[in-house]
Amino acid sequence: MPEVVVIGGGIAGIQASLDLADMGVKVYLVERKPSIGGVMAQLDKTFPTNDCSI
């Protein structure tokens, strides 16, 4: 199985990891902080759908 390292666990890193995993690629998602989510996890709602950011 091909393997990929994604550096950064914010929304971009998470989405890239998910898409790669969906394609059957083994992903190592590396995040400096204790939890993934990045800045987006600190937001309340996102425009324009008012979806909860986290």
Partner 1 sequence: MSPEPEKEMKGKRDKPEKGSPVDRAGGESRRQEVDAAPAGEIRIGAFICNCGTNIAGFLDAKDVSDYARMLPNVVFSRENLFSCSEAGVTDIKNAIKEHKLNRVVVAACTPRTHEPLFRAACEEAGLNKFLFEFVNIREHCSWVHKGERDIATQKAKDLVRMGVARATRLEPKEEITTDVKRTALVIGGGISGLTCALSLARRGFMVTLVEREKELGGLLRYVNVLYPSGVSAGTFVASRIKEVKKSSRIEVLTSSTVQNVKGYIGDYVVSVSSKDRKSRDVNCGVIVVATGANQLVPEGHFGYDGKKVVSQLQLEGMLRQGKLKSKRIVMILCAGARIRERVYCSKICCMTSIKNATLIKKTVPGASVHLLYRDLQCYGVANEEAYLGAKAMGVRFVNYSLENPPVVENGRVRVSSPLSGREMSIETDLVVLASPLVPREGAEVVSRMLKVPLDENKFFLEAHVKLRPMDFATDGIYVCGTAHWPASVSESISQALGAASHASIPLTRGYVKVEPIVSELVDEEACRGCGMCAAVCPYGAVEIVETDKGPKARMIEVACKGCGVCAASCYKRAIGISHYTDEQLDAQVRAYLKGDE
Q: How far is the CB of 52 from partner 1 (least distance, A)?
A: 6
SS3 for the chain is: CCEEEEECCCHHHHHHHHHHHHCCCEEEEECCCCCCCHHHHHCCEECCCCEECC
Q: Does 5 bind partner 1 (CB under 8 A)?
A: no
The nearer residue to partner 1, 8 or 16, going by C-beta atoms, is: 16
Out of 24, 34, 39, 42, point to the residue binding partner 1 (CB under 8 A): 24
Footprint of partner 1 (CB under 8 A): 19, 22-24, 44-46, 48-52, 54
